[in-house]
Structure 1
Amino acid sequence: MRIAVIGATGNVGTAVLDDLSSRPEVDSILGVARRLPDTDAAPYSAAQWHQADIQCSDVIPELAQALQGCDAVIHLAWLIQPNSERSLLRRVNVDGTRHVLEAAARAGIRQAVVASSVGVYSPAEDAAPRDENWPTEGIPGSHYSVDKVAQERVMDEFLQQHPDFSLARLRPGLVFQRGAGSEIQRYFAGELAPVQLLQVLRPPVVPLPAGVRTQAVHAQDLAAAYAQAALLGAHGAFNICADDLLDGQAIARVTSGAGPVGLALPLPAHVVRALIKAAHRARVLPMDEGWLDLARHVPVMDATKARDQLDWSPRYTAAEALEELIQGMAAGEGRPSVPLRPRELNAQDRSELPAKNHELDDQVDPVLLRHYMADHLAGATVGVQRIKRMSADYVDTPVFPEISEAAEAIRRERVFLIELMKRQGFPRAMGSAALAWAGERVGRLKPNGRLPLDRSPSTLVLEAEMMLSAVTGKLHGWSTMKEHAHALGVDPAVFQSLIDDAEVQRDQLETVHRYARRRAFRTDRETFEKTR
């Protein structure tokens, strides 16, 4: 059986690849994503890959062609952030589902499993378990819930037009696993949240909004449910959750790490909601107040149907899944894809570095080399900030995948350079990095022929050119360090790999520049249109 997984690089998609690759019934897997992962690393190496942006209707013929020969589709693609881009979220999450199903039908596929959510259900104020017949009008105040309801309506309309199609919709609770720790921190708590402290200290008392009550499932258990639904040709809705309920006290016990003695400190929900709303509007907190509304009002699900019809049962409790997530967030865990990128270097990157306090040989001037590397680090700091902002500013454009993939590679290389300098005993020159960082921000204030809050079409051209210059300079920097690789205690192949990566980034930025320059100065073309 050949199965296509749409959105195969995120929390659930990665787990589904893990699961499918171990099943003898599955002959081959097609992974589809907007941004491709490291296809040489497991579990991504188990799949063939196709790059597609499902938000635009013109993707349907291309995707239908890619899906030829597949027996089933598992559709998992869902954009959580940015909250502020509601039209983008709706295009990817709701329109994208329509495009995927239509492409599957055109490809002759008659079976799909789609990721829905507990968020599709109407509110329930008690803890009585509800089955799949509970009303699906969503939770007021939650844009995630609103879009999940709209997505299910798309599925209903599709089935009316294709009555011979088997379509299963899985409605899981929150999905946790250790490898998603860094991703979930970025999406909900933010990059600056001091979650690292949880490695050394667990709070004995955990403040929580009163009335929080949710269910969870480990990503591996959810992946098994998706695989079972696809292999069995299941049809209809299925609740997917662990048996235990995560209320305030249960969350406190896990978070504190103190077992039964962990205590929850209930806080007035309306006060917490107001604080979350203010922090989100101030761009301090990625999560908006709708997520709290969701956690307080979704019903408790009954997963009996999944047990009976999918022969599925969870191996992890919700508390165990939450504990894994906390450990993953504290350690900054991730996987080799852009959505799941780890917070710091992974084990492979660290193995390429010299031992700590590595001493240079006598033929290299440590002062000159330190200053050279510090200057490159200052440039890398500017580059990371610039391309990170570009990734956020142009998330709704066709060249976002190229910008985003380059941004992740540049971020990772900067962390590598910092660690390399540490292991040489080189102090970080904070002054030059800080000045470069400040200069990059001042540069944003330059006039561009538009109001300050508008995006100028020419800005993307100029920013792509500046990043091309920066990547070219970095490439020469890696070449210089390769010449002194043995003195630095690093295999020259490591620097060659960095040089090769810089060439890839240059190609990606050339694509961005080509796209922008052909539109920026024309009156008959839109720079920020949604199709190429």
Structure 2
Amino acid sequence: MRIAVIGATGNAGTAVLRALQRRSEVTHVLGIARRLPDHTVEPYDSAEWASIDIAAATACDEAIAELTENLRNYDAVIHLAWLIQPNNRRELLHRVNVEGTRRVAEAVAAAGVPHLIVASSVGSYSPDNARTTAGDLPLRDESFPTDGIKSSHYSSDKADQEDVLDAFEAAHPEIAVTRLRPALIFQRDAASEIQRYFIGSAVPSRKLRPGALPSLLLPKGLHIQVIHSDDAGEAYAAAAVTGRGGAFNICADDILSPRDLATILTGSDSVAEAPAALVRAAMVTAHTTGAVPADAGWLDMAMGVPMMDNSRAKRELGWTPRHGAADTVREILDGMADGAGHSSPPLQPRDAGQRNVQAIHENAEEGANAGTGTSAPKPLPETIGHDLLELYLSDHLTGATAGVNRISRMAADFIDTPVYGLLGQMAEQITAERDFLAQLIKDLGMQRKPYRQAVAWVGERVGRLKLNKRAVERSPMTLLLEADLMRGAVQAKMGGWEALLSHAEDLGLDPGVFEQLIDDAKQQLKNLEEVHAYAAPRAFTEDGTTDR
């Protein structure tokens, strides 16, 4: 079988690739994503890859044509792509999630693929009014209505996606359509991603380890179902191999009660419960102030959706969950405490920049002291003044800190443009370079100037205030201006690497490291030229936007 997986780099996608590897029936896998993963790392090394934007920044006809061309001669398509953030970009979320599904379905039909498997969700279900705070939890099968929870953008979009699939099935009865409706999907490799999306820095990571919280306040009546990512991956693989159409609930066999959650998080089965409305009000405040990334719609969904019956998946797909809900939650919490992740853009670990510092050295010859933190500082020659070099490097670290903030914001703000991939790639690379420079200063036995980095942090954020009569909405001029500023920053950074290259031998450093960094900076300038070329024609039109 030849199977294409759209959205193959995320939490579910990574697990699906692993599951497909274990299936002898599967002979070829195509992974499709907007930003591609490290092809040398499992399970991404088992697939052929194509970079395709299904809806964020690509016109409908163009996206369908590109998908159609890539999906020809495949036996099944597993569509997993879904955008969760940014919460405040509802039009973008709906376009990618709902319109994107419509485009994928049309491409499947045009390419003659006989089977479409789509990631729906427990969130597609309507509120179950039979759920009570007293603990009545009837299990619902796949016939339960799928009108969603209106106050949750995720749930609303999942319900709209179901409507898209209803219409597609009616128009194309020759194509088997499978809808998997999983519960919350967790695995260790997704820990940092889930923390970024839902928790942020509101809770110190060390406190997320099982049993570490001193106390826990939960909304009264909260019960949740989860599924381990590997079990979800096996369900998708089973659906593809069996060719079964229809809807399937995918969840672990056990349901987590407030007492279960308290036991996991605090180590005690004593739980404090408050009215859901009170917890919701606190969540609204936390989200509004930026303390928590998730909005209150996620709580509304958790309190409203039905508890699912997974017996149909067991019966018709031959699928059985192998992980319990409690153990799955413990695994994700341990992963959050450790900053765990994986080698794809969505699953980047918490300290990805620090972890990538070593990669800078692996791309060049090893030197006596290449800034890895593994060698004792070498005494500086008399021809080099310690204080002067320390100030020079600290000032470059200040500039690097501002550069990281700027390029990271650009990648986040312009996710709906064709240059998002370039911006995201540069954000990862420039972050790693900043962390390398910080490590180098330490290796040379020098001191950083933290107050300078703090000033850079404040200055960069003050620079976000736009005097362009568009205080709320994004100006079409912004991307052009940001590209101009980043080009200057990269030029300055390259000058710093060139200066260090000229003194590398005296400092006991590997020249190859700085030669590689200079080459990387030159490529970043070329990438920014491409961003500039895209932004310039759109920058000064009153009705112009940068998303097309």
Stretch of structure 1 that moved more, 488-497 or 182-191: 488-497
1:457-506 CA distances to partner (integer Å, 9 max, x unpaired)? 22211110111221233234344445566777776555555444434433
Q: Is the 8 A contact 2:149 2:155 kept in 1?
A: yes
Q: Give the direction of change, closer, same or farther, for the CA distance of 1:74–1:388 in structure 2 (3 Å limit).
A: same
Which secondary structure does the structure 2 equivalent of 1:445 belong to?
coil
1:11-50 CA distances to partner (integer Å, 9 max, x unpaired)? 1111112222343322222111122222233222222221
CA distance in 1, matches of 2:42, 2:511: 25
Counterpart residue number, 2:317 = 310
Of the candidates 255, 260, 273, which is equivalent to residue 266 of structure 1?
A: 273
Which secondary structure does the structure 2 equivalent of 1:205 belong to?
coil
Counterpart residue number, 1:66 = 70
Of the candidates 336, 358, 361, which is equivalent to residue 376 of structure 2?
A: 358
Counterpart residue number, 1:277 = 284
Counterpart residue number, 1:344 = 351
Q: Is the 8 A contact 2:373 2:439 kept in 1?
A: no
For residues 42-441 of structure 1, the aligned pairs below 5 Å read 42-55=42-55, 56-58=59-61, 59-124=63-128, 125=131, 126-191=136-201, 193-198=203-208, 202-256=212-266, 258=267, 261-345=268-352, 349-350=357-358, 354-355=372-373, 358-363=376-381, 366-441=386-461
CA distance in 2, matches of 1:419, 1:199: 28
1:334-389 CA distances to partner (integer Å, 9 max, x unpaired)? 11222111111465645856345731244365444432321221111111211222
Q: Is the 8 A contact 1:277 1:289 kept in 2?
A: yes
CA distance in 2, matches of 1:512, 1:52: 18
Q: Give the direction of change, closer, same or farther, for the CA distance of 1:515–1:242 in structure 2 (3 Å limit).
A: same
CA distance in 1, matches of 2:208, 2:470: 44
Q: Give the direction of change, closer, same or farther, for the CA distance of 1:402–1:81 in structure 2 (3 Å limit).
A: same
Q: Give the direction of change, closer, same or farther, for the CA distance of 1:271–1:3 in structure 2 (3 Å limit).
A: same
Which secondary structure does the structure 2 equivalent of 1:50 belong to?
strand
Scaled by the length of structure 1, the TM-score of the pair is 0.92
Q: Is the 8 A contact 2:202 2:292 kept in 1?
A: no
CA distance in 2, matches of 1:420, 1:25: 50
Q: Is the 8 A contact 1:374 1:428 kept in 2?
A: yes
Q: Is the 8 A contact 1:356 1:424 kept in 2?
A: no
Of the candidates 507, 511, 536, which is equivalent to residue 517 of structure 1?
A: 536
Q: 1:428 is aligned with what amino acid?
A: R
1:197-218 CA distances to partner (integer Å, 9 max, x unpaired)? 4459702432222111110011
Using the TM superposition, give the Cα deviation of residue 437 of structure 1 relative to its aligned residue in structure 2, in angstroms: 2.1
Q: Give the direction of change, closer, same or farther, for the CA distance of 1:327–1:489 in structure 2 (3 Å limit).
A: farther
Q: 1:190 is aligned with what amino acid?
A: G
Q: Is the 8 A contact 2:487 2:528 kept in 1?
A: yes
Using the TM superposition, give the Cα deviation of residue 242 of structure 1 relative to its aligned residue in structure 2, in angstroms: 0.7
Using the TM superposition, give the Cα deviation of residue 101 of structure 1 relative to its aligned residue in structure 2, in angstroms: 1.0
Stretch of structure 1 that moved more, 370-379 or 75-84: 370-379
CA distance in 2, matches of 1:84, 1:407: 22
For residues 3-42 of structure 1, the aligned pairs below 5 Å read 3-42=3-42
Q: Give the direction of change, closer, same or farther, for the CA distance of 1:115–1:200 in structure 2 (3 Å limit).
A: closer
Which secondary structure does the structure 1 equivalent of 2:29 belong to?
strand
CA distance in 2, matches of 1:433, 1:114: 46
CA distance in 1, matches of 2:209, 2:536: 48
Stretch of structure 1 that moved more, 204-213 or 58-67: 204-213
Q: Give the direction of change, closer, same or farther, for the CA distance of 1:330–1:421 in structure 2 (3 Å limit).
A: farther
Stretch of structure 1 that moved more, 218-227 or 398-407: 398-407
CA distance in 1, matches of 2:72, 2:87: 34
Number of aligned residues: 525
CA distance in 1, matches of 2:507, 2:199: 37
Q: 1:421 is aligned with what amino acid?
A: I
CA distance in 2, matches of 1:397, 1:357: 44
Using the TM superposition, give the Cα deviation of residue 104 of structure 1 relative to its aligned residue in structure 2, in angstroms: 1.4
Stretch of structure 1 that moved more, 493-502 or 241-250: 493-502
Q: 1:517 is aligned with what amino acid?
A: A
Q: Give the direction of change, closer, same or farther, for the CA distance of 1:191–1:471 in structure 2 (3 Å limit).
A: farther
Stretch of structure 1 that moved more, 136-145 or 316-325: 136-145
CA distance in 2, matches of 1:196, 1:504: 38
Q: Is the 8 A contact 2:207 2:213 kept in 1?
A: no
CA distance in 2, matches of 1:342, 1:282: 25
Which secondary structure does the structure 1 equivalent of 2:230 belong to?
helix
CA distance in 1, matches of 2:210, 2:394: 31
CA distance in 2, matches of 1:245, 1:445: 47
CA distance in 1, matches of 2:225, 2:523: 42
1:323-342 CA distances to partner (integer Å, 9 max, x unpaired)? 11101111111112221111
Q: Is the 8 A contact 1:344 1:415 kept in 2?
A: no
Q: Is the 8 A contact 1:112 1:167 kept in 2?
A: yes
Which secondary structure does the structure 1 equivalent of 2:252 belong to?
coil
Q: Is the 8 A contact 2:357 2:432 kept in 1?
A: no
Q: 1:526 is aligned with what amino acid?
A: G
Q: Is the 8 A contact 1:344 1:412 kept in 2?
A: no
CA distance in 1, matches of 2:508, 2:155: 52
Q: 1:299 is aligned with what amino acid?
A: P
